[in-house]
Chain A
Amino acid sequence: MHIIPLVLYLAAGVLYAVHFGGRNRQVGRAATPVLVVGVLSHTFVIGMLTMQAGHVPFAGTTPAISTFVWLLALSYLYVELAADERAMGVFIVPLLVVLQAIPAFQAGVEENVSPMLMSAWFGVHVSSLLFAYASFALACVIGVTYVLLFKEIKAKHLGFFYARLPSLDVLDTMNLRAVTIGWVFLTLGVIVGWVWASQARAGGSSDPRLQAMSLQDPKIFVALLCWAVYSFELYAGRAIGWRGRRAAWLSAVGFAIVLLNFLPVSYFFTKSHNF
């Protein structure tokens, strides 16, 4: 079922690439509606799964990825419409395609969900974190484009990106905004997760996964590492003038860690978050 949004994201990605490469405005204008239709179909898919399962499908890594892709696409569309700037699409949409391929091609229906997860706390925990990650993905892409443009201007070789990207100032502001929003939701998600875990523990559940929820668990450890990186980025931007290129790099590094946490850690290493 995830294949329909995947195909639409792919089509939108091609249009964004053509728009970016050839600076063709008409193609750019065509890309947005295709992406919107992709997001709508994705909304429908998620809605169907919710009806089927009786809860929002983000228990388990694969459904969570799908929800993450959906949130990222929504966030990107918001940025595109708010800033009237399509140049970023060529960087974001391929990410949507790659990640969406995981739920699209991974067979299997959702297994039985632990009753432990049927809690409102859990829903808040997962949705804030997924939203935080979507913001960080945007920040990363904005950061990468910042560095590309920065290099061209600094090297006095005004070329491909100079002609296509918005100004450094705009990119820097957008990066900061995305990181700030992401940081707020990351903080919220971690706190809610902690509260939920302690409640569940107090409720007397003896699930081994619950027992594994500590700093020693890679998933939790890496999430806190992310939190540290982004906290530093926000602090350094204010206190020691680490704006611009350095902030852009931090956004890229931060999201690399997020991805690490999201994919390999979730699938292979964690003992507490393998629902």
Chain B
Amino acid sequence: MHLLLLGVSHRTAPVEFRERLDFSARGVGEALAALAARPSGAEAAVLSTCNRAEIYLACEDLEQGQLDAEIFFAEFHRLPREDLRPHLYTKIDLEAVRHLFRVAAGLDSLVVGEPQILGQVKEAYGHASAQRTAGPLLNRLFTAAFTTGKRVRSETSLSDGAVSVSYAAVALARKIFGDLKDRTVLVVGAGEMGKLTALHMKSQGIRRMLITSRTLAHAEALSSVMDAVVVAWDHLAPALSESDIVITATGASAPIISRQLVASAMRSRRHGPLFLIDIAVPRDVDPAAGAIEQVFLYNIDDLQAVVAENLSKRTAEIEEAEAIVTEEVIRFRGWIQSRGAIPTVVALRQRFEAVRRSELARLEPKLTGLPPEARGRVEEITHLIIEKLLINPTEQLKALSDGESIALYAEVVNRLFSLSPGDPPADSDISPHEDLASALAATEPGAKQARRRSTKPPHSS
């Protein structure tokens, strides 16, 4: 069994192309059904976000899997395969494992460490589970990816700090006021940036939002979107004394909120803290207002500096996060390898069972005279004998974890019990090798042989 990943992301394709590959339009469920119906039809999962569209397949035949995935990608989105190819990346086995772990950790995101991606990966797995296209390999893979994502979040600061101006403003407001539930926000001006910041504030569940603009119509238009109260422009002063957070984003060429205006507002609000967010250029608030006790004034440059600092802090955490990913990949490899001996175990058990059956068949004439209970006893005893004999070898084989000894043991067991020659121990799983080329070389012949053989032992699960 191999793990195969085909995908397109913000690293390989522009947004115009990515939006044509959005699975959510027709539903990931439908996509999974279509994918499962293809010839290689093994385990499958689809991860679809605005920055990436990825297919994870667990299949026996890499070539067939890749072909299927490509055709599926193209057909599902009604795209010529030639258009798709240059944007598509393919990753196999441990490379694919590492890729998913990095994605879940937020290391492959456009904004490093962004928090939504882990939820999206969970969603992708949820769909695959619901459609029953996730088998043992993908189950384990995604569970390990969640672990990786959670570890990176809790053990590093990769996701700390706001990395957009409007989020930085919200984070600051929360650091000043704590809970924003009882707070009033005043939006001055109807600019796009102000609106965005106000929307973020709104999502914090603020008590009341006031909007004022020199052009009343603009304020009214915005107020309907924001569920806010429109305040007349000449009522700016009283509105200021009612508000805790003020967002200014007008196109005015000179400051409209003077130091005096703020000072008198502070008196009437009994010097409760006031957070002024001035995201207009040129500035709307007189910088001198920031010197007043309990007034916190941030302009666009200040917020951008906060964002830049947060981004650089995240960058500093990347190395640590990558180390966690590597640790988890190694752990996953250990799991894969512990499954490497399973075909040998299965073959051995089948061999023993076959001998038992044939011996019972051979003795059939002598057993016919026995009463049914005695025959049942014979069945039971012979079965118990081989179970007893197999306990130790099974445990020993399952405990093996490096490819070399798995191959050696398989060889020995094959010879000793004349199991079907050439039944390769590593063919039913991902190769443990990090190096892709050697991984392919080590597993490819086995995989092909396995396909040719009709009596291939069933997969362990």
Contacts and interface: CB of A to CB of B under 8 A. Distances in A.
Interface string A237-248: 000111111100
A163 B174 CA distance: 12
Given A163-B160, A168-B273, A245 B294 contact: yes
Contact of A167 (B174, B270, B305, B306): B174
Given A153-B176, A156-B298, A158-B309, A243 B271 contact: yes
B293 A168 contact: no
Contacts of A154: 290, 296
| B interface residue count range (under 10 / 10 to 19 / 20 to 34 / 35 or more) | 20 to 34
State the 4 A-B residue pairs at the shortest beta-carbon distance, nearest first.
Answer: A241-B271, A167-B178, A169-B178, A241-B270
Chain A CB within 10 Å, residue with most, of B175, B267, B290? B175
B302 interface: yes
Nearest to A171: B178
Contacts of B174: 167
21 contacts: A23-B157, A25-B154, A149-B175, A156-B305, A156-B306, A158-B172, A162-B175, A166-B178, A167-B176, A167-B177, A168-B175, A168-B177, A169-B179, A169-B273, A240-B271, A241-B267, A241-B272, A241-B294, A244-B273, A244-B293, A244-B294
A100 to B, nearest CB: 33
Given A156-B302, A158-B306, A169-B177, A245 B293 contact: yes
Interface of B: 154, 157, 160, 172, 174-179, 266-267, 270-273, 290, 293-294, 296, 298, 302, 305-306, 309
A244 to B, nearest CB: 5
A260 interface: no
A158 B296 CA distance: 13
A246 B293 contact: yes
B339 to A, nearest CB: 32
Contacts of A245: 293-294
Interface string A5-27: 00000000000000000010100
Chain A CB within 10 Å, residue with most, of B157, B293, B305? B293
A225 interface: no
Nearest to B309: A158
A23 B160 CA distance: 12
Contacts of A169: 176-179, 273
A244 B296 CA distance: 12
Contacts of A240: 271
A153 B306 CA distance: 11
Contact of A153 (B172, B270, B271, B305): B172
Contacts of A244: 271, 273, 293-294
Contacts of A25: 154
Interface in A127-173: 149, 153-154, 156, 158, 162-163, 166-170
A154 to B, nearest CB: 6
Contacts of A170: 178
Contacts of A163: 160
A170 B179 CA distance: 9
Given A153-B176, A158-B172, 19 more contacts: A25-B154, A149-B175, A156-B298, A156-B305, A158-B306, A163-B160, A167-B175, A167-B176, A168-B175, A168-B177, A168-B273, A169-B177, A240-B271, A241-B267, A241-B272, A241-B294, A243-B272, A244-B293, A245-B294
B272 A153 contact: no
A15 B290 CA distance: 38
A244 B177 CA distance: 11
A167 B298 CA distance: 17
Nearest to A170: B178
A241 B160 CA distance: 34
Nearest to B310: A158
Contacts of B309: 158
Contacts of B178: 166-170
B305 A168 contact: no
A245 B294 CA distance: 8
A244 B266 CA distance: 13
Contacts of A167: 174-178
Chain B CB within 10 Å, residue with most, of A149, A156, A245, A246? A156
A169 B160 CA distance: 21
Contacts of B302: 156
Interface string A167-200: 1111000000000000000000000000000000
A244 B295 CA distance: 11
Contacts of B157: 23
A168 B179 CA distance: 11
A138 B447 CA distance: 69
Contacts of B305: 156
Nearest to B244: A169
